[in-house]
């Protein structure tokens, strides 16, 4: 059996098109703007604004995730109201509702890294973060009147670090940090802020909508070549038929 060039060209083009329609980039995108994060998520996510009363503990469960500080078990996560927030110089920490979750524990055994452990893997997580004064007894605030804090944000699947980034912040300046994995899941988020008051509010988490599958430029180029080859083969066959 002889396979004509036009058949081969069309088969190649169809195969490339099929591969392009199912291809998805394994990409993690990080966000510092909540509106952009919500738009990229493409669907309504679960929200936790820490409104239900809870007892301060080293690890606190909030339904779908737990929050803890990675230092000693005596370091507690508690509930923050506006009066207490003002006393701790994080008066802007409550961004949704009337409460936030916060940490202001012991210094000699504090890691300054906070762990959100999610029960079921997700593809999107974001949270408002507010940092307060440095609690290190050796820190002299008089020398750093306009202290700039570097906050790290990393996502994990099990023990594997899938990626992260760092963002600058100032004392009592709420920032939003978030991540969306376009092809894959994660089950843990860590936030590093150092030995200081740290508050979290309005956490958004869940599975983002599937991104629209768009062929990569190289795939589009290959597809175009395949279709051109098919068209060329068909034209040659037409000419051959005319001259036969």
- Dist. CA 54–CA 101, nearest whole Å: 10
pLDDT at residue 125 above 60? Answer: yes
pLDDT at 137: 64
> pLDDT class for 220, splitting at 50, 70, 90?
very low
Asked if 205 and 178 count as a contact pair (C-beta separation under 8 A), the reply is no
- Dist. CA 180–CA 169, nearest whole Å: 21
> pLDDT class for 105, splitting at 50, 70, 90?
low
pLDDT at 189: 98
Q: How many residues does the chain have?
A: 244
Cβ partners under 8 Å of residue 162, min gap 6: 28, 155, 156, 181, 184, 186
pLDDT at 237: 44
Exposure string over 112-140, b if 16+ CB within 10 A, otherwise e: bbbbbebeeebbbbbbbbbbbbbbeeebe
Asked if 132 and 182 count as a contact pair (C-beta separation under 8 A), the reply is no
**pLDDT per residue over 10-46, tens digit each?**
344 434 333 333 333 358 999 999 999 999 999 889 9
End-to-end CA, the chain: 21
> pLDDT class for 227, splitting at 50, 70, 90?
very low
Q: Tell me what percent of the chain is helix, strand and coil, each rounded to the nearest 5.
A: 25, 35, 35
**Section 175-183 average pLDDT:** 94
Most confident of 93-97, 182-186, 217-221, 230-234: 93-97
pTM: 0.73
**Section 73-94 average pLDDT:** 90
> pLDDT class for 110, splitting at 50, 70, 90?
low
pLDDT at residue 148 above 50? Answer: yes
pLDDT at 196: 80
- Residue 16 has which token pair? 């490339």
pLDDT at residue 140 above 60? Answer: yes
pLDDT at 139: 66
**Section 189-214 average pLDDT:** 83
**Section 173-195 average pLDDT:** 92
Of residues 226 and 60, more confidently modeled: 60
- Dist. CA 24–CA 20, nearest whole Å: 8
Of residues 134 and 50, more confidently modeled: 50
- Domains along the sequence of the chain with CATH: 5-22+213-243 (no CATH), 28-206 (2.60.120)
């Amino acid at each position: 059996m002889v396979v004509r060039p036009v058949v081969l060209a069309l088969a190649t083009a169809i195969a490339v098109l099929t591969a392009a329609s199912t291809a998805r980039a394994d990409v993690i995108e990080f966000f510092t703007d909540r509106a952009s994060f919500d738009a990229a998520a493409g669907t309504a996510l679960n929200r936790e604004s820490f409104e239900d009363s809870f007892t301060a503990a080293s690890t606190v469960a909030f339904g779908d995730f737990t929050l803890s500080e990675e230092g000693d078990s005596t370091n507690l996560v508690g509930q923050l109201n506006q009066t207490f927030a003002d006393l701790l110089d994080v008066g802007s920490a409550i961004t949704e509702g009337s409460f936030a979750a916060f940490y202001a524990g012991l210094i000699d055994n504090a890691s300054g890294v906070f762990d959100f452990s999610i029960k079921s893997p997700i593809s999107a997580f974001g949270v408002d973060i507010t940092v307060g004064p440095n609690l290190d007894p050796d820190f002299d605030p008089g020398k750093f009147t306009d202290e700039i804090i570097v906050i790290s944000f990393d996502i994990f699947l099990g023990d594997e670090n899938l990626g992260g980034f760092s963002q600058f912040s100032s004392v009592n300046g709420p920032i939003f940090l978030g991540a969306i994995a376009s092809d894959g899941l994660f089950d843990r988020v860590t936030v590093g802020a150092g030995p200081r008051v740290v508050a979290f509010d309005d956490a958004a988490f869940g599975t983002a909508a599937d991104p629209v599958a768009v062929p990569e430029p190289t795939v589009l180029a290959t597809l175009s070549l395949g279709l051109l080859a098919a068209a060329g083969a068909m034209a040659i066959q037409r000419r051959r038929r005319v001259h036969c």
